[in-house]
Amino acid sequence: MKPVRAIILGYGIRGRAYAAYAKTHPDEFEIAGLADPVAEFPADATYPTWKSWEAALDAGVEADAVVISLPDRLHHKSCLKALEKGYHVLLEKPIGCTWQECVDIAEAQKRTKRLVLTGYVLRYAPFYKKLREVIASGAIGELTSVHHLAAISYGKAAHAYCRGNWSVEEKGTGMLVNKCTHDFDLIEWWTKGKRCKKITSFGSLMHWRPENKPAGATDRCKDCPESVREKCPFDAYKIYYDRTDLRYHFADESDEAILNMIEKSPYGRCVYACGNDSVDHQTVLMEYDGGLTIILEMESYSQQRTRITHFYGTRGEIIADEHKIEILPFLGDSTTIIPQQHGHHGGGDREIMTEFVKLVRTASPERYSAVLDAALESHRIAFLAEESSSISWMNHKECGRKGKKTMEAYAVLETGGKQVLVKVGDKIEIEKLSVEAGQDAELTTVLAVSDGTTLKVGKPYVEGAKVVLSVAGVVKDDKVYNFKAKRRKGSRRLVGHRQQLTVATVKAIA
């Protein structure tokens, strides 16, 4: 059988990883061309090369497929064009930077009846295949909850999500869509057949912010005083020069090139001066059919770069940590499985190519649609998680915005010596105000106010903020009793009090 011929768009880290398959499996995969504006192409290339993905797709080269390993923001346009040209596509995740972009690609896939396989390499890795097999075998009964930690490690997180390509959400997608689509994909796969019904998420950029910059630190590590650098774990020299595990991100890994890169490139910037807004930690809570609950936690400040998952079932537990799978049944002996792993992403980079070639060669248009639909499901959950503070399940069309946390406006009001959290429309009872029923009351004792995205906290009150109440009347609270007894005087007194409360509706928060 002839090898599958593919044009690779974007010859960076991922593009090179996919291209390597052509060397190790020449009967399966052949490079039909490479496109990249800056990358150095292999000196022995016998195929055409271009400076842009558009030029590559316009060249009319004979090929079966296109591998899209371009920056996130170029996935949508390039995938649509590749499909319209009749190519099958191996598309790096995320499928699109917004849900609408994903929907566009799904529609184009159905129209053109081509394959779009998403770069979810982990589900092809032997470790995760084995884990899925153990869960599906029923070894721990029915799953009741899953706690999944995606620990990025402080070095990798500083590299990619603070200094690097994914530091500013507007340039691509939110952290959950970019980084955690792998995790959402695994969760979808582990819970196959069940559907996520509810989702909510919390997270923020807590630490890599300008206000946390140490005294005396400068905007680039090369200018930073030694006394400040030595106390900083994120110092570029420690991350790229003293250690070597992140050097694979650069075309030239020599000491000299790394020092030059720290001096001149964005990767030599102080982590507190990168203009980044990507969250550094986020938690997602999900409820699936039948009551299964799942917690996904993304954490930047971990020592190790790993994923640790704890599965609880009606007949036991499984603990998996990317190295070993511990099965702890309630009846019978515990076992530990250590799957064989070799290659990048635990062998997933190689195995996904094997699957891609197989699908291009043998699958039907119905199968192609099913493959993309499965990947869309996890994207949909990731977009919803980005968007949600607490929302129920929504369908394709309803999930439209990306990356913005859209909460309702609220204020924390101080009144009658108490703090009350209020939102517009809330009906509240507060200590009596001297305002007649039917009148409005404007309270300026606002301790904090949020418009849904930005929180302002006062010292103690937020200047210029107010909460407008529409007063309905006055009621009496439940009776409170005060009993006083004086032992030697034989006096016993029981006093009752009903506090008068103003009943009001929150009309506006400004």
Ligand X SMILES: NC(=O)c1ccc[n+]([C@@H]2O[C@H](COP(=O)([O-])OP(=O)(O)OC[C@H]3O[C@@H](n4cnc5c(N)ncnc54)[C@H](O)[C@@H]3O)[C@@H](O)[C@H]2O)c1
Catalog residues that contact ligand X under the rule CB under 6 A: 9-15, 35-39, 52-53, 69-72, 74, 92-93, 119, 121, 165, 178, 345
Of 121 and 236, which CB lies nearer to ligand X in the complex structure? Answer: 121
Of 15 and 155, which CB lies nearer to ligand X in the complex structure? Answer: 15
Exposure string over 459-473, b if 16+ CB within 10 A, otherwise e? eebbeebbbbbbbee
- Which two three-digit tokens encode residue 388? 């949600």
Taking the C-alpha atoms of residue 126 and residue 472, their distance in angstroms, rounded to an integer, is 65
| Count of all residues that appear for the chain in the document | 510
Q: How far is CA 225 from CA 217, 262, 453, in A?
A: 7, 15, 36
- Which two three-digit tokens encode residue 267? 């990767």
Taking the C-alpha atoms of residue 334 and residue 98, their distance in angstroms, rounded to an integer, is 44
Least distance (Å) between residue 377 CB and ligand X: 17
Of 28 and 183, which CB lies nearer to ligand X in the complex structure? Answer: 183
Residue with the CB atom nearest ligand X in the bound state: 12
Of 45 and 475, which CB lies nearer to ligand X in the complex structure? Answer: 45
User: Tokens 């499909």 sit at which residue?
Assistant: 83
**Across the strands, what pairs with 496?**
481
Least distance (Å) between residue 326 CB and ligand X: 25
Least distance (Å) between residue 169 CB and ligand X: 13
| DSSP structural state of residue 179 | T
Of 7 and 467, which CB lies nearer to ligand X in the complex structure? Answer: 7
Least distance (Å) between residue 417 CB and ligand X: 52
Of 119 and 339, which CB lies nearer to ligand X in the complex structure? Answer: 119
User: Tokens 């997608």 sit at which residue?
Assistant: 173
Judge contact between 8 and 67, C-beta under 8 A. Answer: yes
Exposure string over 66-92, b if 16+ CB within 10 A, otherwise e? bbbbbebebbbbbbbbbbebebbbbbb
Of 239 and 433, which CB lies nearer to ligand X in the complex structure? Answer: 239
Of 52 and 283, which CB lies nearer to ligand X in the complex structure? Answer: 52
Of 125 and 469, which CB lies nearer to ligand X in the complex structure? Answer: 125
Radius of gyration of the chain (CA): 29
Least distance (Å) between residue 57 CB and ligand X: 10
Least distance (Å) between residue 192 CB and ligand X: 21
Judge contact between 172 and 71, C-beta under 8 A. Answer: yes
Least distance (Å) between residue 41 CB and ligand X: 11
Judge contact between 152 and 161, C-beta under 8 A. Answer: yes
User: Tokens 């530990």 sit at which residue?
Assistant: 336
Least distance (Å) between residue 198 CB and ligand X: 28
- Which two three-digit tokens encode residue 88? 């099958």
Q: How far is CA 17 from CA 6, 119, 183, 249, in A?
A: 14, 12, 21, 12
**Across the strands, what pairs with 307?**
150
Least distance (Å) between residue 8 CB and ligand X: 9
